Amino acid sequence: MTAEGTGIVLDVTGLTKQFGGLTAVDSVDFRVQERQICSLIGPNGAGKTTLFNMVAGQYEPTSGDVVFDGRSLRGLRPHDITARGIGRTFQNIRLFTNETLLENVLVGMHSRLRSSPFAALLRLPSQRREEAEAHARAMDLLKLVRLDRFADESAGNLPYGMQRRLEMARALASQPKLLLLDEPTAGMNPQETLAMTTLIRKVRDDFGVAVLLIEHDMQVVMDLSERVTVLNYGQKIAEGTPREVQRNDQVIEAYLGRRHKRPEDEVAGAHA
Amino acid sequence: MSQTLAPAMPTASRQPNYGMLARNLFIAVVLAYPFLDLAFGWQALLAFIPMMLMITLAMGLNIVVGYAGLLDLGYAAFYAIGAYASAFFTSPVSPLNRILPDSPFFWMQDFWVAMLLAVLVAGASGALLGAPTLRLRGDYLALVTLGFGEIVPRLVKNLEPWTKGVKGMNPIGRPYLFDCTFGVDPCTIFGTQYKLGMIPYYYVTLAIGALSIFLIIRLRDSRLGRAWAAIRDDEIAAQAMGVNPVTTKLWAFALGASFSGATGAIFGAYLQTISPDQFEYSTSVIVLCMVILGGTGNVWGVMFGGLLIQSFDRIFAERLTGWVHKFGAATGVPAVATLLNNFDLIRSRLFIFGLCLVLLMALRPQGLLPARKRRETALIDETEEEANARLDAAVAPAGGPR
């Protein structure tokens, strides 16, 4: 069941984004394989979220390409990309706070439902069947994230940790092949973080999705990911297994700063 | 807070359900109203017909403003388009009347067909207005719709060959049922002739209003309705969930406008004359106020808000003034009589209306019956603990995979 797929789900090549004079993401390449959990790490402002937003279609890349499932996503709008099979969560949670949990998840299914407004006006049998199935599936997803008890509550009333899990259920509702999670454990206590890590792994195993996550909690990154890509100032500075990345000098430098140099190095540097 | 609500639920089956009772009573009164009106001599039937039309308009606007969150200040334009479209097909003064009767399309002069065409025309113009506003948000969108609301009456005034300009169109085709044309013929029911006057209009308006509510609720609970709510709450998140903002907003404009098409057609037929000044900015504003007063996004709230504003505007302002004047005369003191004679709610109705709006926005900005009563706090304090307990349970079988 967990046979590692060899297909490449996401292939990012030479992806660049410039905001005016600032190059937020500078020709980054990386790949995500089927059913793989990948992490995107880097200091604040390294361009991780910008990269996410390009993959999800929120931003138009300045150059480069994103190939998903063998087809380029170039020029597609966010909702088309969701329909293709990329689901996402947001760094600062963006739930529909006035809607119930159930409605939130149902909106997540939007691209998988077909009924036209006319079918809804006439309440055709096909539309009723589709709605019933959608409701059942939404409840299953709420059960998965253990929020089914609050199905009819407004999402805005949920405490923070639950909101993150609801966002995850909502993203899964679109039946993605690739799940983009932007800091899924941000602001969580260790207990909640552990539960989220477990959930992410379970989702990968049960739904067979590939997961690309941005994360600052190194424990989570090392624990969860099979592959790590490190960005700094918009450039990819390292890539590999968590262990490889942990030992990479450039990565250590990016996070902790340059190692203290001997005086002769300083002099040599000054002459150059 | 929630304690006042909670115990009501289990006892509801034993005690009479007052909510149900009130609703059924309301429906019964509405259904029997024309006869009550005749029996008691209230003479308010003619106020109720435009009142129900306005409420139906507010229902349509509620799709755009309440469900999709798109502020529309020019909704009366669609009302005008509906009324003029219907008049265009059915009125003898319409240029179409010269060619239509002898053409294969003579059936378009039928009132009900014309009303359906008016629905389609209004819906299409809704989409047409929607198209250029798709990139706009909030204030900017409101300004463009305001512009559209100004353009349509002006177009109507200036396209004289088609619309008869400021003179307006008169007469207009009347609705009919079986052999009875509304408002003219005495109707034969089971062999007896009855002079029904405006009563048929009342029922047709009521039927269209009820049908609108029925359909709007279906829309609200559908895939499209959820997409509207999503776009309204957070457009970026909605897009990320696969909601196409362009088509979703266009549907809102088109469907919202199409309800005003039917309303406009009935309105024209009822008054038998339509002119551009009936569709000015103030109409848009009143309808918008009905939506906001009652509770944006809630069908019943909008209905309630509409009833309140319209019944004040069309019935109570006038009656109250009359009663006060009579009271003044009855006192027999000339000074009091003159003083009270100056009391005029009709003249100051816009003032009162404005004052009420200001008070409402200050005290209850969500409207009288807001869309969703949110349960507050208690849940959250309690469940933070529970959540952690559950999370412990979630962590327990963690060792499994990997």
Q: Where are the domains of chain A?
A: 8-85+176-271, 98-173
When scoring A73, A94, A226 by the number of chain B Cβ atoms within 10 A, the one with the most, hence best to mutate, is A94
What number of other Cβ atoms are within 10 A of residue B35's Cβ? Answer: 10
Q: What is the mean pLDDT of residues A112-136?
A: 91
Cβ of A94 and B234 within 8 Å?
yes
**Taking CB atoms and an 8 Å limit, are A120 and B390 in contact across chains?**
no
**pLDDT in the model for residue A269:** 47
Tell me the pLDDT tens digit for each residue of B347-363: 777 788 788 888 888 88
Region A154-176: mean pLDDT is 92
pLDDT at A86 > cutoff 50: yes
Distance CA B52, CA B336 (A): 38
Integer angstrom CA distances of residue A230 from A225, A253, B222: 13, 12, 43
| pLDDT score for A72 | 92
Q: Evaluate if residue B372 carries a pLDDT over 80.
A: no
| Cα–Cα dist B292/B311, whole Å | 16
- Angle (CA) A227 A232 A238, round 5°: 35
Q: Rounded CA gap, B118 and B68, in Å? A: 23
- Is B350 within the bounds of a domain? no
DSSP calls for B201-220: HHHHHHHHHHHHHHHHHHHH
Task: Please report, rounded to a whole number, the percentage of residues in chain A having pLDDT higher than 90.
Answer: 63
- pLDDT higher than threshold 60 for residue B114: yes
Reduced to 3 states, what is the DSSP secondary structure of residue B86? Answer: helix
The residue type at B186: P
Q: Which long-range contacts (CB under 8 A, 24 or more apart) does A240-248 make?
A: A242/A39, A245/A41, A246/A222
**Tokens standing for residue B314:** 């069309």
pLDDT at B294 over 50: yes
CA atoms within 13 A on the CB side of B64: 35
The tens digit of pLDDT for each residue in B139-187 reads 888 888 899 999 999 998 898 888 888 888 888 888 887 767 777 767 7
Number of domains present in the structure of chain B: 1
- The residues of B whose Cβ lies within 8 A of any Cβ of A are 215, 218-219, 221-227, 229-230, 233-234, 236-245, 251, 255, 371-372, 374-376, 379-380, 383-384, 387-388, 390-392, 394-395, 398, 401-402
Name the residue in chain A with its Cα closest to that of B230. Answer: A96
A198 contacts B395? CB cut-off 8 A: yes
Closest to A107 (Cβ–Cβ): which among B221, B226, B391? B226
Residues found in chain A: 272
* Distance between CA atoms of residues A226 and A238, nearest Å: 14
DSSP 3-state of B297: coil
Lookup: tokens for B201: 């209009």
pLDDT of amino acid B377: 40
Of A156, A161, A194, the CB nearest to B387: A161
DSSP symbols for B40-55: HT---HHHHHHHHHHH
Residue B198: Cβ within 10 Å count = 15
Question: Mean pLDDT, chain A, as a whole number?
Answer: 88
Pair B314, B50: CB distance under 8 Å: yes
Separation in Å, CA A130 to CA A115, A135, B243, B377: 8, 9, 17, 34
User: What is the 8-class DSSP label of residue A150?
Assistant: G
- As a whole number of angstroms, the distance between CA B293 and CA B303 comes to 10
Q: Residue A33 pairs with which residues in a beta bridge? A: A8
Cα B268 from Cα B277, distance rounded (Å) = 13
Mean pLDDT across A71-91: 93
CB-CB neighbors (< 8 A) of A124 in chain B: none
> Which tokens is B17 given?
């359900």
What pLDDT, on the 0 to 100 scale, is given for residue B13? 52
Helix B245-271 with B199-220: angle, nearest 10 deg: 170
pLDDT for residue B166: 81
CB B134 within 8 A of CB B240: no
Return the bridge partners of A180, or none.
A88, A212
Whole-number pLDDT of residue B9: 45
Q: What is the pLDDT of residue A101?
A: 93
A-to-B residue pairs, Cβ atoms closer than 8 angstroms: 139
Does the pLDDT of residue B188 top 50, yes or no?
yes
Task: Find the domain containing B126 and state its range.
Answer: 34-296
B211 located within any domain: yes
Provide the shortest C-alpha distance from residue B243 to chain A (in Å).
6
Pinpoint the alpha helices (H) of A145-180.
160-172
Nearest to B374 among A106, A121, A154 (CB): A154
A246-271 pLDDT, tens per residue? 888 888 888 877 766 666 555 554 44
Report the pLDDT averaged over residues B248-263.
93
Please, what sign has the CA dihedral across residues A246, A250, A256, A262? Answer: positive
B106 versus A87: which is more confidently predicted? A87
pLDDT of residue A178: 95
**Does the pLDDT value for residue B79 go beyond 70?**
yes
CATH of domain A8-85+176-271: 3.40.50.300
Report yes or no: B208 and B51 within 8 Å, Cβ to Cβ: no
Query: How many C-beta neighbours within 10 Å does residue B174 have?
Result: 18
Q: Report the SS3 class of residue A40.
A: strand
- Greatest CA span in chain B, whole angstroms? 97
CB-CB: which of B224, B230, B402 is closest to A96? Answer: B230
**Average pLDDT, stretch B70-96?**
89
Residue B318 belongs to a domain: no
Decide: A149 and A56 in contact? Cβ < 8 Å: no
Determine contact: A115 vs chain B, CB below 8 A: yes
Beta carbons of B312 and B51 less than 8 angstroms apart: no
**What is the widest separation between alpha-carbon atoms in chain A?**
82
Distance CA A84, CA B197 (A): 60
Q: Looking at chain A from residue 56 to 75, which residues have their Cβ under 8 Å from any Cβ of chain B?
A: 56, 58
CB-based contacts of B159: which residues, under 8 Å, 6+ apart?
B165
Amino acid at A173: A
Q: Which of A73, A93, A102, A107 would best serve as a mutation to test chain B binding (most B beta carbons within 10 A)? A: A107
pLDDT the model gives residue B380: 46
Q: Do the strands A63-68 and A210-214 form a parallel or antiparallel pair, or are they unpaired?
A: unpaired
**DSSP secondary structure code for residue A179 in this structure:** E
Contact B153, B163 (CB under 8 A): no
For residue B177, give the 3-state DSSP assignment.
strand
Say whether B222 and A120 touch across the interface (CB within 8 A): yes
On the question of pLDDT at B191 being above 90, the answer is: no
Beta carbons within 8 Å of B367's beta carbon, 6+ residues apart: B292, B293, B294, B295, B296, B298, B301, B305, B360
Q: What is the pLDDT at residue A272?
A: 40
User: Residue A88: which of B234, B240, B402 has the nearest Cβ?
Assistant: B240
Q: How far apart are CA A209 and CA B181, in angstroms?
A: 65
Check if the beta carbon of residue A62 is closer than 8 Å to that of residue A85. Answer: no
Residue B297 confidence (pLDDT): 82
Which residue of chain A has the CA closest to B377? A157
B143 near B151, Cβ under 8 Å?
no
